[in-house]
Structure 1
Amino acid sequence: MIILLMGVSGSGKTTIGKLLATSLDWQFSDADDFHSPGNVEKMRQGIPLTEADRTPWLRDLQAALKRWLQENRNVVLACSALKDSYRQFLLIDHDRIKLVYLKGSHQLIEKRLQERHNHYMPEQLLDSQFNTLEEPLDALLVEIAEPPQVIVKTIRSTLKI
């Protein structure tokens, strides 16, 4: 099974993803690691990515998902997947890929981004992230105001894993 944790930058995808993967003894992967150096540099400079920037990234992610499914690997993937079209491209097996939406208010996430260090995504891109976000209708929705351990328990109990 693959759990795709989605949400805007600062929603806790990496933190929750690592905790969840550890609790399950699964592999953790971060979609940020699939970005080209050019994409990372654009984001570091506060420049939103274009569709042309995202297309190779999405293709690489889809290839990884196919490989993991073929190998029957259990993976937690942290990925913004802000648009429905991105999610439809990535959700290639609805039975074995579970979508979890980490949802939080703009105010809460902005506060988290202000406190975050050593990450290339600047807080000024948060508005762009929320403007791009198309909230999923077919995901497990988890409010992020709870402590990470509570969120992990909620995900595990709802997905029965």
Structure 2
Amino acid sequence: MSWRDVARVAVVLVLVPLLVSCSEGYPGEDRPLVSPFDMNNAERVAELNVVGRDSPGPRWRYALRDGCALEVEQGSGKDQRRVAVTLKRSMDAEVVFDDATKTYDVALIDRSVDAGKPIATLLKTDKWTYATQGSLLIDLLIRDCAAGSTARRLQTTGMLPFPGRSPT
């Protein structure tokens, strides 16, 4: 065995423990990635609760009641705040940076009243990624609540939409 072969074996013996230790600290299984576009509203609310739990700052909790009433709870104890809003087609969630608090706020905006004035803050975090994820989930809740209410209205009137066309 030449000195080069001995050096190669020595390098491998030194590097193997280092490479094996690199996997420590990582989960054995990654959390499955599911597109929010492929979720139903119950799954979206569950994911919204994960965002509200994991984002820095006070914890945010969400529930969706019959008739698309979104209940939002922030904080706990005497600092706890609650708001309930009925989601409508004219609403959307918008990420707004608050200079005063240096946070990204997910504001619920109703475009049909008062020139799109925010009516509620649904999430406040100092991380843009949490805010944009929350905003997308809320926009999809609104979209599917509006679609569901249109479908219920059409069923009660006996009308069905044309295949391939969304009801208006």
**TM-score, normalization by structure 2:** 0.22
Q: Which has the larger strand fraction? A: 2
Q: Which has the larger helix fraction? A: 1
**Higher relative CO (CA 8 A, sep ≥ 6), structure 1 or 2?**
1
**TM-score, normalization by structure 1:** 0.23
